[in-house]
Amino acid sequence: MSSGVFRARWVRLTRPPVGLAPERRRSYQIFIHVYLFAIATHLAFIPVFVALDVVALMLLNLTCIAANVLAIVLHRQGQRTAALFIKLGMVSALVVLSGMLLGGETGGEYFFFVILFEVLISDLAHRLKLLFGGLVISLILASEHLLFGSLGSWPYSELSRELLFSLNVVATFVLFMFIVLQVYTITEVTERRFRTDATHDSLTGVLNRRAIFEKAEGCWQAAQPFALLLLDADHFKSINDNHGHSAGDEVLRHLAQLLGRTLREDDFIGRVGGEEFLVLLPEASMDEALSVAGRLRNELASCPCRLESLALPVTLSMGLALSNEGDKLRDVIDLADRRLYLAKSSGRDRLLAQGGENQGEQVGEGVTARLLQGAPTKDNA
């Protein structure tokens, strides 16, 4: 099996179900990895039990592998508590039985600490964690003082005992280290995903309204000059009405992708309304902002949104404002918004970069439209 195929199957197996609550995804992934690694550990112990020629341990070890497979199935079906108890119960039975048959001082008792750690990092309620943690500690004490060695004694040389002890110590430390690393890694990935979900629009993948305004506020507070380009897809409602909302969603995703290709590396884009996007262009002059708008229009003209055999051409109305055109950030945003409104009311498919300073200003009242390349030129839109 190629590494690519193996990785694809691994990702598919460990990926949380779509409907799983975000706060449960971390625990889900951690324990899927734990069950898989436990299976690998039990497989590694098969030749050890064969060498010891203890049939009961060989059978119980194979049963533990089956229990972990069952635990994975139950875990994926949402029965995570049952999966955990099956897995931990079988491991506890294996540790106790090996101690009863082979005696103490073989290192098997260290696996109890791994079991206790798994209980503590699980999604169990705190009272259940305390209850089962107490049971595990009681089992450790009972095994050490009452159970270990009760069914047999070590029939091999002391060197063999030391080798088994070393193997058990290494196995428990590897398991412990693996689980800790999984907790750390998956926690980091989950927190990164939460931060992304909190700052990005789920449909288009661009920044959401709050995040793009925070970026603009950061530029404003740092006294960094910038341009704001507020754009709106023309006649978007008719796309939803004529082709369905799924088609409208595809158009929005298409616009976001085109914007991503058009913008400079340090520019930001956010979705601030249904079909409305705000582009933040740090350190951009009027000419640079107009260049960005022109490139976007050319991209839209050459790459219409395609839905199977249907091509949906989309045009944009845009309002542009520079940071030095307002005394407050809110003034600059409102100015870009008014220019967008005037661009739409003056015929759409155009960029308005001047005018709109006065509330209620109408097209034709001294408003100068800076039109996109290819659109009809007007000095007074």
At 206, give phi and psi (nearest 5°). -85, 175
SS3 content of the chain, % helix, strand, coil (to 5): 65, 10, 25
Residue of 275, 308, 325, 361 with catalytic role:
275
The CA distance from 269 to 200, in Å, is 10
H-state helical runs in 150-308: 158-199, 209-221, 236-243, 245-262, 286-302
Q: Residues near 193 by Cβ (< 8 Å), separated by ≥ 6?
A: 22, 25
- Beta-bridge mates of residue 319: 230, 352
- Beta-bridge mates of residue 351: 318
The CA distance from 44 to 50, in Å, is 11
Token digits of residue 130: 């305390």
Q: Are 65 and 49 in contact (CB under 8 A)?
A: no
Question: In the sheet where 276-282 sits, what is the strand order?
Answer: 268-271, 276-282, 226-233, 316-322, 351-352
- Catalytic status, residue 275: yes
The CA distance from 216 to 378, in Å, is 31
Q: Which residues are catalytic?
A: 275
